[in-house]
Each structure stands twice: as C-alpha cells, then as structure tokens.
Structure 1
Amino acid sequence: MSAFREEGPEGEMTGQSIIRVERLCVYGHHGVLPEETRLGQRFVIDLEICADTRDAVEGDDYTQAVCYAALCERVVALVSGPPVRLIETLADRIARDLLGAFPTIARARIRVGKPGAPIAHGFDTVSVETTLWRQRSVGFSLGCNMGDRAAALRMAVTWLGLAPGLEIEAVSGLYRTAPWGVTDQPDFYNLCVTGRTSLAPHALLRLCKEIETRLGRTPGMRWGARAMDVDLLYLDDCAVSDSVLTLPHPHMTGRAFVLVPLAEIAPAQKISGQSVSDMLDRLPRAADDAVPCTDAPFCLTEDQT
C-alpha cells in the first residue's frame, strides 16, 4: 500500500520536472448544503506535479512521461464523481489518486477553487491547497567502536527520527560485532533502523554525514575505528551509482553486522530482488560475528569501565 507525506522535504532529486495544469474547470456536486449536492457548481482545479522525467528526457520517450491528458481525465472523474462535503477532502483525494496512478510522480500539489461558495459577501473564489509527497521504504545501518557506544547510537537514532521527511518505523536491538576490514581495533556496537521517507537519495546521504559529524566522526583510515558510522542501505528499489553514493549499499550482502540486525526488523524487505532473510541465510558466518547485547549484558557496561 502506498504511503504519502503531507509536508515536503528539502532536496528533490535531479532529473525531476514540474508539470502544471492551471484552471481546469469541472462541474461537481460537492458541499455541505443540500442545494450544493443537488444542483452542483463549477470547481477550478490547479495541479502542480513534480515527476521524475529522466527516462523520458533521455530517450525523448512519450511513454515514460506523465501524460497531461491522463492527469486531467483522472481529476475530472474525481470532481464530477460522488460528492464530498469538504473541498479539503476533494483535494486530498485528487493528490492521493494521482500519486497512486503515476509511479514517477514524487509530489502532487493540488488547489481546489470554489468560485460559487455560499458566502454572503463579495469575493473572487475560495480555494484549498494540499501537498502530498510519495514516501519510500528506507534502511540504515549504524555502528561505532569509540567512547560510550550505546549512548552514541541512541543519539544517532534520535537525530534520524527528528529529521524532516523521515519517519522511523523500527529500530533493531543492539549487537556487539567483530571489526570488519581492519581487525586490530575494539569491537563495534551495531544496529539497524528502517522507516519511510520522502527525501531524495543524496539528501539522505547528507543527513547520514551530518549525524556522523555531530557525533564526532573525523576523516581517518578506511574501516578503522570511528565515533559513528551511519550508512544508507536501500531506498525502496532506487538504484544510484555515482561518485558519492551507490544504492543499494554495495557491501551489505557480505556483512553480518548489517544483515543480522536488519533481519530482526525487516526480514521480508526485498533489496535487488532478494529478501533480507535470504541474504542472511546465504551469508558465511563466523562465531560471535554479531552477538545480541541482550545475550551478553557486559556489552552495555564495559563502556563505563
């Protein structure tokens, strides 16, 4: 089931276009008064659609674009269809319908005008504007092996949860994990976070880096000790490959410290056609490569010694 967000984030994806349809006039029977639903009146609809048009532009391919006529036909069907009492409800229904019908639409801003509203004063029109953003599933891996590791991870999760455009749905338990890449360093504490977001991939990457910096991470040896590591694992089925970001995360399928906590909270999540639980089943495991801290209480006390 699709989910939508009512306020917009910063950082729209490149390759998006703004499509506007202005002053689409449709006769409908919406309103609170009996005369409005019986006699009907004219409604004026403005659409502002933000859509991913990269494929359409690259191939000059009409079939990959959002059809303006199809947008209008769906709006006309809704406005001329069964009545609602509030134009707020009508605007919301239009936005949700368009996001559900056109998968490349990232944002739908709908203004419903009611020039014949029953107001006993001179006025031009009454209108309501609604904006909905498409939300996508997202996963993060968090880890650190410096300082008070448990406290740092709790703070990182808090800052993720406070980010506009991101809603946290699940947080895994805490795991003590063996170092990966460079083994001559303290063990890590790791966890995973899943949620839904209306943020674009590079905006999510910026958020990860900002949290790392706030918690004291500085440039250092690759795979070395770190105060905080926040990795973006996946964003629905979004594929990105550029100089700063690769999605899905290219190394996650080979890392127990990612797959074990992620399988705890999102075993059925499909990434590149595979479920997280299947990835974990195929992963060669080492003894104690990811130990739940609930099974090893010393994990949570050794930072204080």
Structure 2
Amino acid sequence: MDQIKIRDLEVFCNHGVFQEENVLGQKFLVSATLFTNTRKAGLEDELSESIHYGEVSHVITDFMKQHTFKLIETVAEQLARKLLLETRHLEKIQLEIKKPWAPVGLPLDYVSVEITRGWHEAYIALGSNMGDKRAFLDHAVEALGEVEGCQVVRVSEYIETEPYGGVEQDTFLNGALKLRTLLPPEELLQLLQQIEAQAGRERIVRWGPRTLDLDILFYDDAVISTELLTVPHVELQLRSFVLQPLMQLCPYKRHPLLGKTVEELWNALG
C-alpha cells in the first residue's frame, strides 16, 4: 500500500501525568505515515482522490491542543482513531508521538510512543433458532452497524438449516455479514458476545438452542488460536450453513490454513 508521510509536526500542548505539564504545556513532535492507494490520484492529478496532508496536519494540531491526556499512549490511540474514522481513503496509520521535554531528570533526545492502527475485514456468522429468529438476526446486523469503528458492508440472505451437533431442537435461520472494523479480534469477540447477551443468549448446552449466535469466521487473513478465540472458525469447511452464506459474500476468499477458496470448500462439501 502507498504511503504519505508527515514527519515531526511540532505542537505545543498540555499532556502529561504531572499537573505542571497540564498547566504550562510543552512541545510534542508528531509523525504519521498514512497508508492509502495513491494510484488514481497520481493518474488523474486530482487531490480529492488522495489524502490532503495539510488538512491532516491541522486535524492533528487541533486535536492535541483541544484535549488533555495524562499518557501519550492515550494521545496516540485517540488521535489514530479520529483520523481513521474521519479521513477519506485512509486505510491504516502509523503514528508516533515524541515528547522531547519529558520530565525524567536525565539527558535524552525524547521519549515516544509509536502505534499502528487500521481498518480490518471480518466475516461474521449469524444464527438463531429461538423466538423471532429473523428479528434477532436483523437486530445483530443493526447493532453492529451502530458501533463506532464498525461498518457493515454487506449481509447475505438468511437461510433455514437443520440443527448441527446432534441436539434435538428447532431449525436455524443462518446468515453471514462482511464487516469493516477498527476493533482487534479479541475486542470484536467481546462486542459480539455483548450483542448476544442483549438478545438473551444463554450458553448452557453445547450446540444447543440459542436466541442469537455470532461467530468470527475470518479476520483479514489472520490465524488465531487462543483460549478464547480461534480464527478461522473451527470446522468452517464442514458446515454448509456457514459456507452457503459466505458463497454470496466472498466466494474467492482463501482460507489461510487450508489454502482453498470458499467456493472450493463449498464444492468439496458437495
């Protein structure tokens, strides 16, 4: 991805743990690498197809002057979020906040915090087999779309499927959606569980009936295996009620472990 760089933008503002830092203020240096696609702007010589680094520099300056935080970690996190939410064409940002006058009582050039944040692509499975199934799925889609830093890009059709796992219960209504999000995988999982809880989800019987079931199927091309989360979703390739909605959303998405596309997995399932 192409990069636009802003280096050592000087801002005098009031961030720091000590009260005198908040009152008297001090100098900060901000560097930002903006990841975007400059191809169209370069071919058409059109600024609206790129990122206006002058406007971004003013946003950085205004944000840092208008807020006061104890930690430069917080400055970096909140500033990166603001720029990603409000800057057209910005896909990822690498941000460094330098503090040349850090009160440590020792000679140094500066201390700094550097972070990288960006938009991610996730695919979420939707399922319900209790109560008003369609209403539960619609609510989940709406709830995700209302979260700052989450954008529902596309939703599959809902399909009726037989229960999975051998537990006797009502048929399911299943679907999937494509999500653009700033949330890392663990925070996205927490959000999905919160939405499930709002729908009255209870985890009593494995593969048992549920008002709402939300699962992360893919997160970019990440492979995650922790105590709380496994991505790509376990047995995704064996579940027609997962693959069929994905066929509508991303037939050419490649499973990062199996090396096969969703379409190939669907055909192999027969």
TM-score, normalization: structure 2? 0.61
Task: Give 1:253's match in structure 2, choosing from 237, 244, 251.
Answer: 237
Q: Summarize the alignment of residues 181-260 of structure 1 with structure 2, pairs less than 5 Å apart.
A: 181-260=165-244
1:152 maps to 2:119: no
Alpha-carbon distance between aligned partners in 2 of 1:163 and 1:271, rounded to the nearest angstrom: 27
Give a deviation string over 1:74-113, Cα, whole Å, max 9, x none.
Answer: xxxxxxxxxx987215689xx9xxx9xxxxx9643479xx
- Give the letter aligned to residue 214 of structure 2: V
Alpha-carbon distance between aligned partners in 1 of 2:231 and 2:58, rounded to the nearest angstrom: 34
Alpha-carbon distance between aligned partners in 1 of 2:116 and 2:165, rounded to the nearest angstrom: 43
Equivalent residues of 1:167, 1:197 under 8 A apart = yes
**Residue 136 of structure 1: aligned partner:** 120
**Change beyond 3 A, Cα 1:176–1:106:** same
Displacement, 1:203? Answer: 0.5
1:88 maps to 2:88: no
Task: Give 2:252's match in structure 1, choosing from 226, 243, 268.
Answer: 268
The answer for unaligned runs of 5 or more in structure 2 is: 11-27, 34-50, 60-79, 85-90, 98-114
- RMSD (Å), alpha carbons: 3.4
List structure 1 segments (4+ residues) > 4 angstroms apart after TM superposition: 21-24, 89-92
**Residue 266 of structure 2: aligned partner:** 280
Q: Paired residues, what number?
A: 186
Give a deviation string over 1:203-229, Cα, whole Å, max 9, x none.
Answer: 010011001100010121000011110
**Change beyond 3 A, Cα 1:48–1:176:** same
Equivalent residues of 1:91, 1:110 under 8 A apart = no
State the structure with more CA Rg: 1
**Change beyond 3 A, Cα 1:224–1:22:** same
- Give the letter aligned to residue 141 of structure 1: A
Displacement, 1:271? Answer: 2.1
Alpha-carbon distance between aligned partners in 1 of 2:169 and 2:142, rounded to the nearest angstrom: 27
The SS at the match of 2:245 is helix
The SS at the match of 1:277 is helix
Alpha-carbon distance between aligned partners in 1 of 2:199 and 2:212, rounded to the nearest angstrom: 6
The SS at the match of 1:204 is helix
**Residue 38 of structure 2: aligned partner:** none
1:161 maps to 2:151: no
1:175 maps to 2:159: yes
Equivalent residues of 1:156, 1:211 under 8 A apart = yes
**Change beyond 3 A, Cα 1:225–1:88:** same
Displacement, 1:148? Answer: 0.5
Alpha-carbon distance between aligned partners in 2 of 1:86 and 1:251, rounded to the nearest angstrom: 45
